[in-house]
A and B are shown apart, each in its own frame.
Chain A
Amino acid sequence: KQEVTQIPAALSVPEGENLVLNCSFTDSAIYNLQWFRQDPGKGLTSLLLIQSSQREQTSGRLNASLDKSSGRSTLYIAASQPGDSATYLCASLRLNTNAGKSTFGDGTTLTVKP
């Protein structure tokens, strides 16, 4: 059974700092990896999807990497801003014809202080 772990559970940084959020998983064989952000009381917003055959994806100040051999993904946020404050979740998405199985981490709650 796939397990996804995100450490730390909470992180507080001053504005402008670069930071890395971690996601580890136990079964890397046939999964894509997706990062989301969730603001309080809101739904999940997709940030980046790394397909199983890829090593990284970039969008603006965000860069996500995937290392299947070590079972880890990282989300790098450059030049953090107070607006980046949110909970960040990673999820492994199974690749098969039914595409039913997805496993989510519990998230890292990020606070960026002005």
Chain B
Amino acid sequence: DAGITQSPRHKVTETGTPVTLRCHQTENHRYMYWYRQDPGHGLRLIHYSYGVKDTDKGEVSDGYSVSRSKTEDFLLTLESATSSQTSVYFCAIRTDYNSPLHFGNGTRLTVT
């Protein structure tokens, strides 16, 4: 157990509403990541963080924003959810750039 908690585990929301997903870690890892996993596309990086208030975009960042105000929390926000954002979202953590990635259990988001 890498000490990662994602919340909520499941969410159904309507198109156009804002949604925030939370990733919480208990082991003071420097790096935190948000991925989405979709059939036919595999795992794709949305945003990542390399420290408090330090974030950068991944390959599919359009329509998403992130914030990291504390080491232990990394928030992913969909400002105005669309059906194309229906997916399973995974948070991952990493101690440093030479250490393994560890994943949370995921959040299944459905946008109707």
Contacts and interface: CB of A to CB of B under 8 A. Distances in A.
Contacts of A49: 99-100
A11 to B, nearest CB: 17
A98 B102 contact: no
A51 interface: yes
Nearest to A6: B42
Interface stretch (B12-20, B43-51, B67-75, B78-86): B43-51
A98 B49 CA distance: 8
Nearest to A49: B100
A98 B50 contact: yes
A96 B94 CA distance: 13
A104 interface: yes
Interface residues of A, number: 26
Contact of A44 (B58, B90, B94): B90
Contacts of A97: 50, 97
Contacts, number: 62
A34 to B, nearest CB: 6
Interface string B20-35: 0000000000010100
B25 to A, nearest CB: 14
Interface stretch (A18-26, A65-73, A87-95): A87-95
A82 B38 CA distance: 26
Contacts of B111: none
Interface in A7-58: 32, 34, 36, 42-46, 49, 51
Contact of A43 (B33, B96, B105): B105
Interface of B: 31, 33, 42-43, 45, 48, 50, 56, 58, 90, 92, 94, 96-106
